[in-house]
Amino acid sequence: MEKISIADLHERKQHGGKLTMLTAYDYPLATLLDAAGLDIILVGDSLGMVVLGYETTTPVTMEDMLHHAKAVRRGVARALLVADMPFLSFRASTAEAVKHAGRFVQEAGCEAVKIEWKQGIEDTAKAIVDAGIPVMGHVGLTPQTAASEGGFGLRGKEAESAARILAQAVSLQEVGCFAMVLECIPDVLAREITRRLAIPTIGIGSGPWCDGQVLVTYDLLGLFDRFTPSFVKRYADLSRTIREAADAFLRDVKAGVFPGKEHTRTMPPDEFAKFKKGTGSLFPEG
């Protein structure tokens, strides 16, 4: 399969084809998702919650993100690889934001970064784009600042807030963002943003009218049990599968069933005889 490019994503929007994006945090998962044919793989700062055990994404650092992005890069050959810029990495100064975005490209081999909306983010996004680094925007619910904005939940329910989100998406497109994540907004608002923007929209909890869809892979696989957003569709229950496998392992070890002969290697009899003779071993053969 040919490598996915940003031009491919734009062409797909023009022809009405749906885009697919999932998150990955390590080499094995990245390899499987890439082989499945995903268009975009996102190294999401959601790893703070689903991998590192934080209550929110806020504590995730650049070093955390780079560590996981490097692992994912080694497993991705086809999909476009995008990394979330973590909290504060693009909020302190424009120069620092460009520097941090550059690390994702130079050190981790990512092909783009994603930034969440905040007031005045347009200048930062433009500076990153001008530095030659593609930027994916993110409007609606922005998890990094959700706690200070009333918690997690639907955004754009009222006409005034919906108009603000639409304006945010348009402004990010105008400074060069190549795609836009729309998180937890009403379907009609997502449909209007998708209609207005020339760049692809990728929805999460925003209805079916977006140009593509994204989920946190651990939610999709049933690997994160702390909570499940209402917009998530579980395609597997791997938490249960893993618990059952671990329980079976525990029982087999305690019962002396594992390891069995088929899992055990032994020394050839003549070599064992030499071993016993040379060391005075008291162990019986077999």
Which domains occur in the chain, in start order?
6-237 (3.20.20.60), 241-279 (no CATH)
Q: How far apart are CA 69 and CA 231, in angstroms?
A: 26
Q: How far apart are CA 152 and CA 229, in angstroms?
A: 10
The pTM assigned to this predicted structure is: 0.92
Q: How far apart are CA 36 and CA 166, in angstroms?
A: 33
User: Does residue 185 have a pLDDT over 90?
Assistant: yes
Q: Find the helix or strand (DSSP H, E) in which 127 lies.
A: helix 121-130
Parallel, antiparallel, or unpaired for β 135-140 and 179-183?
A: parallel
pLDDT band at 101 (very low <50, low <70, confident <90, very high): very high
Q: What is the pLDDT of residues 22-45, one digit of tens each?
A: 999 999 999 999 999 999 999 999
User: Does residue 130 have a pLDDT over 70?
Assistant: yes
User: Does residue 273 have a pLDDT over 60?
Assistant: yes
Lowest mean pLDDT, pick from 81-90, 141-150, 234-243, 271-280:
141-150
Of 75 and 55, the one with more pLDDT: 75
Q: How far apart are CA 24 and CA 34, in angstroms?
A: 10
User: Does residue 7 have a pLDDT over 90?
Assistant: yes
Across the range 42-53, mean pLDDT stands at 95
Q: How far apart are CA 89 and CA 147, in angstroms?
A: 18
Q: Which long-range contacts (CB under 8 A, 24 or more apart) does 143-149 make?
A: 143/45, 143/46, 143/56, 143/57, 143/116, 143/183, 144/45, 144/57, 144/58, 144/86, 144/87, 144/116, 145/116, 145/118, 146/56, 147/56, 147/58
- Whose tokens are 């969440």? That residue is 116
User: Does residue 284 have a pLDDT over 80?
Assistant: no
Q: How far apart are CA 211 and CA 193, in angstroms?
A: 10
Q: How far apart are CA 70 and CA 248, in angstroms?
A: 34
Lowest mean pLDDT, pick from 1-15, 32-46, 143-157:
143-157
Confidence (pLDDT) at 283:
65
Residue positions annotated with a catalytic role:
183
Q: Which residues pair with 201 in a beta bridge?
A: 180
User: Does residue 169 have a pLDDT over 90?
Assistant: yes
pLDDT band at 271 (very low <50, low <70, confident <90, very high): confident
Instruction: Give the dihedral sign, CA 128/83/60/151.
Output: positive
Q: DSSP per residue over 11-68, as a string? A: HHHHHTPPEEEEE--SHHHHHHHHHHT-SEEEE-TTHHHHTS--SSSTT--HHHHHHH
Confidence (pLDDT) at 279:
79
pLDDT band at 91 (very low <50, low <70, confident <90, very high): confident
Which tokens hold the place of 3?
């490598």
Which tokens hold the place of 149?
């904005």
Which tokens hold the place of 2?
């040919």
Across the range 227-240, mean pLDDT stands at 87
